[in-house]
Amino acid sequence: MATGQTLRELEAKNEEQYDKILKETHLTDHPSAFDNALKQFDRAAKLLKLAPNQVAVIKEPRRVTEVKLPVRMDDGSIEVFTGYRVQHNVALGPAKGGVRFHPDVDVEEVKALAFWMTYKCAVVGIPMGGGKGGVVVDPRKLSQGELERLARRYFAEMIDLFGPDKDIPAPDVNTNPQIMAWFMDTYSMHHQEFLPAVVTGKPIELGGSAGRAAATAQGMVYCVHRTVEHLGMDLSKLTVAVQGFGNAGSYAAKLLHQDGCTIQAISDIDGAFFSEQGIDPEMAIAHVKENGTLKDFEKVAKVEKMRDPMKLLELPVDLLIPAALENQVTEANAPRVQAKIIAECANGPLTPEADDILEKKKTFIIPDILCNAGGVTVSYLEWVQNRMGYYWSEERIQEDLKRIMDNAFQNVLETSLHNKVPMRTAAFIFSIQRVCHASELRGLYA
Ligand code: NAD
């Protein structure tokens, strides 16, 4: 998270100034993402009246691995990076979850992301458990060759953990199909076999699935369709703000624009851009393709650059889509959030304190473990196709994705209405029951 680094820099300054800046920059001091994830779990576990034995088995990660990754840089020097893989729970199947490359990755963040994967797979009914990986690195500072050597070394160091029936990585922040291709090649060369099912989110030419690139956003869009029906709103009249313009955010803007929504704001790490009349996402995507970032977008499009990018979260739009990192809406800025619906494309963008504030304001939150589950759903379909060696059409994938997402949304909505709890707690109630039941059926080994 950008927050961690900023905080470390700020710590040097005096106490009073530090507190003031914390407030102004909306940072709170300072539960980890994993603390927040456990709070979410506890809320549902309490309502389910889980026994301590059940909680003990399904709450904490099963395995946490840290590795050091020496990589030869282009200038001949060696730099040592730190990498993690966390397998949270594998009661329902092999661990599944992305690998993040980011300077603020730490073990608590990876534990949280792996935890959310366990319950995300269970919400959509995928026969897989939760995993996640990360490398502490700013990939923007690496050449393509350095990036490849780092990716391969990460996979090589973890090679015994990974496998089509053990643990299957995928892309996350700052990782992409090319990096998945290097992962797959490293594993296949090691085993001297073509083993595409060890990783998903691959390029189509190497066993990737039709529809995977847009899947996370497409799944979110299906959830938004169901939400709008439930709330009696008009989809084509929605105004939208999207934070983050990578895989999840750019497709989110594009697909909702195709639905007739007005995309009033977008942002990435280099800035936020606003237009009341609406931004053309295709133009923004072309700009990012050419420049690698939204930087200077105001010079080519009729948009205003926002002075404070965090204010994007507080715009008076109907639909807010956080699609960047964790802990973006906290108790500090939640009172100023005006959106009627929040669709969490990112993992963990709202803290539990923000949830409480927004619940009082009757904001409809589509929680991450449901909202962004389209990504892992099509990853699962990719894995199935790899194992069959037979590939489905885009139409077939879309049909399955829509059916799975609609079904999951309906299950969570019904749980929410029946128990009179917010959608997040409902999603955990529903998924914890699945994981718990599978754990009990398996029993304890030895
Ligand atoms: P990505 O690397 O493709 O894009 C991340 C985007 O966020 C970039 O545009 C980056 O500039 C922007 N960003 C980073 N820090 C920011 C900040 N402080 N303010 C505004 N923008 C910022 O990553 P992605 O795959 O799109 O993942 C985004 C989120 O979606 C993550 O939380 C990820 O875990 C979640 N997610 C992704 C997938 C997937 O399939 N890619 C699936 C489920 C969930």
Q: What is the CATH number of the domain that holds 84?
A: 3.40.50.10860
Q: Which atom of ligand 1 is nearest to the CA of 249?
A: 26
Cβ of 2 below 6 Å from ligand 1: yes
Q: What percent of the chain has pLDDT over 90?
A: 92
Q: Residues 180-191: what's their mean pLDDT?
A: 98
Q: At residue 181, what are phi and psi to the nearest 5 degrees? A: -65, -40
Q: Residues 246-271: what's their mean pLDDT?
A: 98
Do 317 and 187 sit in the same domain of this protein? no
- In angstroms, the CA 104 to CA 107 distance is 10
Do 90 and 170 sit in the same domain of this protein? yes
Q: Residues 318-342: what's their mean pLDDT?
A: 98
Quick one: which of 176, 106, 129, 100 has its CA closest to 346? 100
Cβ of 173 below 6 Å from ligand 1: yes
**Which of 173, 209, 312, 371 maximizes ligand 1 atoms within 8 Å of its Cβ, making it the mutation to test the pocket?**
173
Q: Can you give the pLDDT at residue 232?
A: 98
Q: Residues 26-53: what's their mean pLDDT?
A: 87
Domain assignment present for 388: no
325 CA → ligand 1 middle, Å: 6
Quick one: which of 24, 379, 314 has its CA closest to 171? 379
Do 143 and 248 sit in the same domain of this protein? no
- In angstroms, the CA 66 to CA 159 distance is 13
pLDDT tens column, 120-150: 999 999 999 999 999 999 999 999 999 999 9
Q: Can you give the pLDDT at residue 19?
A: 43
Strands 78-89 and 63-72: antiparallel
Do 228 and 334 sit in the same domain of this protein? yes
Domain containing 82 equals 63-195
Cβ of 247 below 6 Å from ligand 1: yes
Q: Which atom of ligand 1 is nearest to the CA of 345?
A: 30
Do 111 and 237 sit in the same domain of this protein? no
Closest protein CA for atom 36 of ligand 1? 346
The residue among 371, 395, 413 that closes a domain is 371
Residue type, 407: N
- State the pLDDT confidence band at 29, using cuts at 50, 70 and 90: low
Q: What percent of the chain has pLDDT over 70?
A: 93
Going 145 to 151 to 157 to 159, the CA torsion angle's sign is negative
Domain assignment present for 358: yes
Q: Which atom of ligand 1 is nearest to the CA of 201?
A: 40
Cβ of 327 below 6 Å from ligand 1: no
pLDDT of residue 302 exceeding 60, the answer is yes
- State the pLDDT confidence band at 69, using cuts at 50, 70 and 90: very high
Q: Residues 189-209: what's their mean pLDDT?
A: 98
Peptide bond preceding 30: is omega within 30 degrees of 0, i.e. cis? yes
420 CA → ligand 1 middle, Å: 31
Cβ of 262 below 6 Å from ligand 1: no
Q: At residue 129, what are phi and psi to the nearest 5 degrees? A: -105, -165
pLDDT of residue 20 exceeding 80, the answer is no
414 CA → ligand 1 middle, Å: 30
Q: Which atom of ligand 1 is nearest to the CA of 171?
A: 41
Do 223 and 331 sit in the same domain of this protein? yes
Q: What is the CATH number of the domain that holds 219?
A: 3.40.50.720
Q: Can you give the pLDDT at residue 21?
A: 39
Cα–Cα distances in angstroms (integers) from residue 120 to residues 63, 199, 307, 374, 405, in the given order: 18, 18, 35, 10, 11
Domain assignment present for 37: no
Q: Which residues contact 87 (CB under 8 A, 6 or more apart)?
A: 61, 62, 63, 95, 114, 129, 130, 131, 161, 167
Domain assignment present for 402: no
Determine contact, residues 415/234, Cβ cutoff 8 Å. Answer: no
- State the pLDDT confidence band at 30, using cuts at 50, 70 and 90: confident
pLDDT of residue 418 exceeding 70, the answer is yes
Cβ of 4 below 6 Å from ligand 1: no
pLDDT of residue 17 exceeding 80, the answer is no
Question: How high is the mean pLDDT of the chain?
Answer: 94
Domain assignment present for 446: no
Domain assignment present for 405: no
pLDDT of residue 23 exceeding 80, the answer is no
Catalytic residues: 132
The residue among 313, 346, 371 that closes a domain is 371
Q: Residues 348-373: what's their mean pLDDT?
A: 98
pLDDT of residue 446 exceeding 90, the answer is no
Q: Residues 212-227: what's their mean pLDDT?
A: 98
The number of folded domains in the chain is: 2
- In angstroms, the CA 283 to CA 364 distance is 30
Which two tokens mark 241?
Answer: 């703000």
Do 223 and 355 sit in the same domain of this protein? yes
Do 285 and 349 sit in the same domain of this protein? yes
Domain assignment present for 77: yes
Do 296 and 360 sit in the same domain of this protein? yes
Closest protein CA for atom 40 of ligand 1? 375
